[in-house]
Chain A
Amino acid sequence: MSSGFFLLILLALSSVAFMQGKRKALALSRLSTDQKRTGKLHSLPGYYGLLTALWCLLPALVIIALWTACGDSILTALTLKTLPPAMQQLPADELNLLVNDLHNLVAGHVAARDIKPVLQQAADRYIEMQRLARLLLGAVLFAVASFSGLLVYRRIRPDMRARNHVEQLIRYGLIFCSTIAIFTTIGIVLSVLFESLRFFKQVPLTDFLFGLKWSPQMALRADQAGSSGSFGAVPVLAGTFMVSGIALAVAVPIGLMSAIYLSEYAGKTVRAWAKPVMEILAGVPTVVYGFFAALVVAPFIRDTGALFGLDVSSESGLAAGLVMGIMIIPFVSSLSDDVINAVPQAMRDGSYGLGATRSETITRVIIPAALPGIVGSILLAASRAIGETMIVVMAAGLSANLTANPLQSVTTVTVQIVTLLVGDQEFDSPKTLAAFALGLLLFVITLILNVIALYVVRRYREEYE
């Protein structure tokens, strides 16, 4: 019996509750009209049914949610209690391994370590308890659903304010949904911060922020050569800013000029065609850009460099930056386009009236007026470029060179996060935790950029509205 099965049963129960509630309300209303009594139904009959159904469904759903959230940990704790005391006294990490083995046994996976019979027994007990718990859960769900449904059903009277109750419940649902966005942010901050703090316990914050060497190697043995990894984020950040800088150097002029052309010069048909075509660029998945950068652009740059006798790395920051620039052109252009269009026509007319040409109007009147919005759009594009992952993973390198030469291989924050976290890894080595520290850095940088950008854009909009 899976949770899906329970859900189906619950849905069936609540639809029965709906029918019954509605029928009772209808019967009551007929009764009252027959006997010419004044007690008319307060709400439409459907609301009585809905209220019964909701009360039948919601408490049971809460129980299911609670059980899926903490059922496993309760069962594990209970199983651990039954183990011999010697095994319960193990240090935390060994206990963790034990629990992992237990879970593997329960799930039927073949565990790598040889299994002690005690553990096998514990696993059997776990499975037995799980079965019992499921049965119990089913019984409890059924009981709760029918009890709360019946309770509402019995209380149905013509003067019951069913609609208001239902609407209140829906409203709580809406409020709950709107808090999910908040919880997401809190979840991001907490998860990244928590792991980062563990990282900073092992590697001092100053070493991370100001260290000039990045080589996230952790030795397996203490006496191994190069046993201490170094976690200086400066080269990684430098690489990130270089790639994003190249991207902006491509995207800002092209994006801005095309926005200006499309909003000030282009005719209606050109605009109607060119704008959506340019926006296709924003819809292309980043992995496609990454493949394009690695397959077409990087070899092209390498061959061109070879023509001039330059030694270009096959994973150069230039290739990644160029392609990323292409990707963010639409971000710059469509936002700038909006801003330029928001500049009041009167300002244009005034400038033309003084005899200025179009380009003079644009550069001396419109752009200064739209500047905050344009800056905002550039900042948003920059934050997009800094957080972009797939292009750099596929086209920039892994080695953290502290260099200003765009022809060399550089690495970025996102590349390092991906390489440190892809694959199986233990969760307390600084190597893995470093990824979360980088994630925190990335989150903070982009957050600052976004907040400034959104603030600027918002302020600007208010100015002309």
Chain B
Amino acid sequence: MSKRSTAMKSENKKRETTMERIHRGLGKRYRRERWFRRFGLGAVITTICFLGILFGSIVANGWSAFKQAEVLLEIHFDPAMFDVDNLAAANYGGLVKKSLRQMFPEVKNRRDKRRLYKLVSSGAAFILQRRVAHDTSLIGKTLDIWLPADDEVDMFLKGYIRRDVAESDRRLSDKQIGWIDQLLARGRLQEKFNTTFFTAGDSREPELAGIHGAVAGSLFTLFVTLALSFPIGVATAVYLEEFAPCNRWTDLVEVNINNLAAVPSIVFGLLGLAVFLNFFNMPRSAPLVGGLVLTLMTLPTIIIASRASLKSVPPSIREAALGVGASKMQAITHHILPLAMPGMMTGTIIGMAQALGETAPLLMIGMVAFIVDVPHGFTDPATVLPVQIYLWADAPERAFVERTSAAIMVLLAFLIAMNGLAVFLRKKFEHRW
């Protein structure tokens, strides 16, 4: 009896210890639970922070590029300098220099003069030339004209070149800073909205460089991409989803498309180089070739999205159409395609956004060339916005850093607009069956 009672006692004791053990472990387990949860939240927050830092640093570097220092010069278009039949031969640079000399008559020394001239951009002469060519009645007049200042002056005004650094470590000499101060005091040097950035092509001089050429190249390239990839992608998706028999060939096409979606983009560039440029002798650096390469690259994205969209159309619609006597093709073109179209367009826009941001394959087909002119056709040499960013990122001038960031802001604005459109389309036309 006593034996049994001790056994029961020990049993009791054991049961208690199990509960106790659970309770003892509970605090630790809850603690672990809380930590796990915090890690998860931390991961999400870290990601969002990365995004914030990325955008923040770009905006912080880039917003100042939308302003550019300009100098107000009093230019006298001396009739003696112009030959009416050959306006281009006139010494426009001389006009700028003369005006600067008049403004600072105390500068006599040759070296100082050269430094003084450096305050105004070398592009000022071209601006004057263009104005005179545009309107010959200017000859003989004296006008106040805002001309772009040199990029060093611009950087100084924006605070990137600091006054308190030793003169030898700074790109502007003390004298130049003195002149800048005088110009500022007279109100003849100001930061104005940088229109050049949006209207000019590329240039070696930061103050004359703009993104117009790159944006035009991007648009031409995207146009080719869209014109080819949308119809081909939709046709492929329709075939695979509606017509293709279930056999090994179809399987092969499917696996192939999924694989192509994950092939590194630079490999498409190699394809473009070997096939389009070397085999078909297409022009280098042309938006046409860029568009072809990007078409091949974005096709898988569009096909996959279009197939998903076709799949989501309920079979009842198809069956109803067939039931009232439509042929299979009529059921597809009259009923299924219109219903699947929003999804297909969303996929296409996302593919286009991908193509707009793509750089590597375009490097391979020569779209990295330094191209000053704005392209006007599909076979003109051109560059695209991301490649322009890559080129500027390599440039040593400080002023190109902010221009690169500004170009990135423009690119991101395009991408956000496109993705916003895709989201809008999805929200507006999304059917839930």
Contacts and interface: CB of A to CB of B under 8 A. Distances in A.
Interface of A: 69, 72, 103, 163, 167, 170-171, 173-175, 177-182, 184-185, 187-188, 191-192, 194-195, 253-258, 260-262, 264-266, 274, 277-278, 280-281, 283-292, 294-296, 326, 329, 333, 357-360, 362-363, 380, 383-384, 386-390, 393-394, 414, 417-418, 421-423, 427, 435-436, 439, 442-443, 446-447, 450-451, 453-454
A167 B48 contact: no
Contacts of A286: 357, 359-360
A390 B270 contact: no
Contacts of A454: 255, 258-259, 262
Contact of A191 (B33, B260, B271, B404): B271
B364 to A, nearest CB: 6
A261 B268 contact: no
Closest 10 CB pairs of A and B: A387-B264, A261-B40, A285-B357, A191-B274, A257-B43, A359-B36, A177-B235, A389-B360, A174-B239, A258-B43
Interface stretch (B101-109, B110-118, B124-132, B386-394): B386-394
A174 B40 contact: no
8 contacts: A163-B327, A195-B274, A284-B54, A285-B359, A292-B58, A358-B36, A359-B36, A387-B263
Q: Which of A188, A291, A358, A386 has the most CB of B within 10 A?
A: A291
Interface stretch (B69-77, B149-157, B158-166, B295-303): B295-303
A261 B257 CA distance: 32
Contact of A265 (B40, B357, B411): B40
Nearest to B350: A283
Contact of A427 (B41, B244, B278, B280): B278
Interface of B: 29-30, 32-33, 36-37, 39-44, 46-48, 50-51, 53-54, 57-58, 61, 231-232, 235-236, 238-240, 243-244, 252-253, 255-260, 262-268, 270-271, 273-275, 278-281, 296, 299-300, 303, 327-329, 353-354, 356-360, 363-364, 368, 386-387, 389-390, 393, 401, 404-405, 408, 411-412, 415, 419
Tell me what chain B mostly uses at the interface: helix, strand, loop, or mixed: helix
A418 B54 CA distance: 25
Given A285-B359, A360-B29, A422-B368, A390 B415 contact: no
A443 to B, nearest CB: 5
A381 to B, nearest CB: 10
Given A180-B296, A285-B415, A292-B54, 18 more contacts: A177-B232, A182-B253, A188-B267, A253-B43, A255-B43, A257-B42, A258-B40, A260-B40, A261-B37, A283-B357, A283-B419, A287-B359, A288-B357, A326-B47, A329-B47, A394-B390, A418-B363, A447-B263
A329 B50 CA distance: 10
A331 B327 CA distance: 42
A291 B408 contact: yes
A48 to B, nearest CB: 15
Contacts of A170: 329
A421 B364 CA distance: 6
Contacts of A255: 43
A102 to B, nearest CB: 12
B243 to A, nearest CB: 6
Contact of A418 (B256, B360, B393): B360
Nearest to A195: B274
B271 A257 contact: no
B48 A291 contact: no
Which of B46, B232, B263 has its CB near the most chain A CB atoms (within 10 A)? B263
A445 to B, nearest CB: 9
Nearest to A325: B50
B239 A281 contact: no
A187 B277 CA distance: 13
B390 A281 contact: no
A181 B264 contact: no
Nearest to B356: A285
A326 B36 contact: no
A178 B43 contact: no
Given A295-B401, A439-B270, A174 B243 contact: yes
B363 A254 contact: no
A389 B264 contact: yes
A188 B58 contact: no
B16 to A, nearest CB: 18
B284 to A, nearest CB: 9
A180 B236 CA distance: 9
A39 B199 CA distance: 66
Which of A167, A171, A292, A358 neighbours the largest number of chain B CB atoms within 10 Å of its CB?
A: A292
Nearest to B22: A355
Contacts of B386: 285, 287, 390
Contact residues of A: prevailing secondary structure? helix
A284 B39 CA distance: 25
Nearest to A439: B270
Nearest to B29: A357
B365 to A, nearest CB: 10
A414 B279 CA distance: 23
B262 A442 contact: no
Contacts of A274: 44, 48
A430 to B, nearest CB: 16
Contacts of A167: 327-329
Contacts of A191: 270-271, 273-275, 279
B256 A181 contact: yes
Contacts of A266: 44
B43 A450 contact: no
Contacts of A180: 232, 236, 296, 299
Contacts of B415: 283-285
B266 A277 contact: no
Most buried by A among B274, B387, B389: B274
B260 A184 contact: yes
B271 A187 contact: yes
A333 B266 CA distance: 24
A389 B221 CA distance: 20
Nearest to B259: A450
B331 to A, nearest CB: 11
Nearest to B390: A287
A292 B57 contact: yes
A163 to B, nearest CB: 6
Among B47, B275, B299, the one with the most A-chain Cβ atoms within 10 Å of its Cβ is: B47
B258 to A, nearest CB: 5
A178 B239 contact: yes
Contacts of A383: 262, 264
A192 B67 CA distance: 47
B159 to A, nearest CB: 18
A359 B35 CA distance: 9
B363 A387 contact: no
B43 A261 contact: yes
A178 B263 contact: no
B271 A446 contact: no
Contacts of A394: 390, 393
Given A194-B274, A281-B51, A296-B53, A72 B408 contact: no
A22 B176 CA distance: 79
A387 to B, nearest CB: 2
Nearest to B361: A389
B48 A173 contact: no
Nearest to A432: B273
A386 B266 CA distance: 11
A187 B267 contact: no
Contact of B239 (A175, A291, A380): A175
A417 B270 contact: yes
A288 B389 contact: yes
A326 B264 CA distance: 18
A283 B416 CA distance: 9
Contacts of B401: 295
B276 to A, nearest CB: 10
A439 B281 CA distance: 21
Contacts of B255: 454
B274 A436 contact: yes
